[in-house]
Amino acid sequence: MRPAILDQLSATQKAKLFEELIEFLATPSFGAWPKREVEVRVVAALYEKQLRDGSLSVARLAEELTVTRARGRSLVLEARTRLLSRPEDRTETLAKLLKRWPQQAQVDESDGRLRLVVEDPFVRDLLRNHAYATGIPLDTSFATEIVSLRWSDYASLLASVLPAAEAEEVAKDVGAAIRRDLAGEKETLAEFDKAMKKWEKRTPQERAERLLKLGVEHVPVSTVISALMSAL
């Protein structure tokens, strides 16, 4: 059985956490913070590394702190929201999810949808807020933690968080993979190249998005995913 978080800390680390907590409780005056804020602060202090890198699961926190999953989910959401308050931190966290999505998601070739379990409530909120802001619908009707979206919508979301250099690499690698797959179909390849030629002067992000969308119309989704994962 994995040791609880307190059992993993050295005496020095425990002493440091205790000093930080006492300082927090006494500022601006003792008793000024409500119980909920104290709980969130303790969770953030105990699990800071895991909260920052996204490796802390709700199930683990609930088990170690002996709380319900609902309460654990709420604590993770609030603690991560405080720790990752900078816009660049949020963008990076969202980008990590979107980059690994095709590799970890269930891909439905028939309707071109991606389904993934996103347990982290903070990341789900980031995803929803970003998707809604860009007019992209997410389907969570089956279960809150299962997010489903169309491939075309995924392409738009991914392109929106990629830096220009990464988008350029995606466009290059995915384009090459599609052309290799269509090498024996001259008419289809010519049609694909003609469609992409119209996007030559667009931004790298726009070209990458167009390639990801257009690619699945000509080759299997698995071919596009494989090339995308190599580029990222």
At 110 the pLDDT is: 65
For the cut 80, the answer to whether the pLDDT of residue 179 exceeds it is yes
Q: Is the predicted pLDDT of residue 139 greater than 80, yes or no?
A: no
Going by pLDDT thresholds of 50, 70 and 90, the confidence category of residue 181 is very high
Residues 99 and 47 in one domain: no
Q: pLDDT class for 202, splitting at 50, 70, 90?
A: very high
Q: How is the beta sheet containing 146-150 ordered, strand by strand?
A: 106-108, 113-117, 146-150
| Among candidate residues 101, 90, 182, 185, the one with its CA nearest the CA of residue 146 | 101
pLDDT for the residue numbered 2: 65
Overall average pLDDT of the 48-73 stretch: 89
Bond preceding residue 34 cis, omega within 30 of 0: no
pTM, two decimals, is: 0.75
Q: Which of 134, 158, 182 is the last residue of a domain?
A: 158
Residues 225 and 187 placed together within one structural domain of the fold = yes
Same domain? 141 vs 167: no
* Average pLDDT score over residue span 121-147: 82
Q: How many domains does the chain have?
A: 3
Q: Contact at 8 Å (CB) between 168 and 174?
A: no
Q: Are residues 186 and 135 part of one domain?
A: no
Q: What percent of the chain has pLDDT over 90?
A: 36
- How far is it, in rounded angstroms, from Cα 26 to Cα 108? 54
Which pLDDT score, from 0 to 100, does residue 20 have?
87
- 75 and 15 in a common domain: yes
Instruction: Looking at the structure, tell me whether residues 27 and 79 fall in a common domain.
Output: yes
Boundaries of domain holding 93: 88-158
- Predicted local distance difference test score (pLDDT) of residue 176: 94
Same domain membership, residue 70 and residue 24: yes
Is the domain of 176 the same as that of 149? no
Looking at the predicted structure, is the pLDDT value of residue 1 above 60?
Answer: no
* Rounded CA separation 224/221 (Å): 5
CB atoms within 10 A of CB 24: 14
Cα 51 from chain centroid (whole Å)? 14
Of 60, 83, 106, the position where a domain reaches its end is 83
Q: Give the per-residue pLDDT at 155.
A: 93
- From 158, 174, 191, give the residue that closes a domain: 158
The predicted structure's pLDDT at residue 138: 79
Quick one: 98 and 139 in the same domain? yes
Residues 14 and 30 in one domain: yes
Considering the chain, what is the average pLDDT of its residues?
Answer: 87
Residue type, 2: R
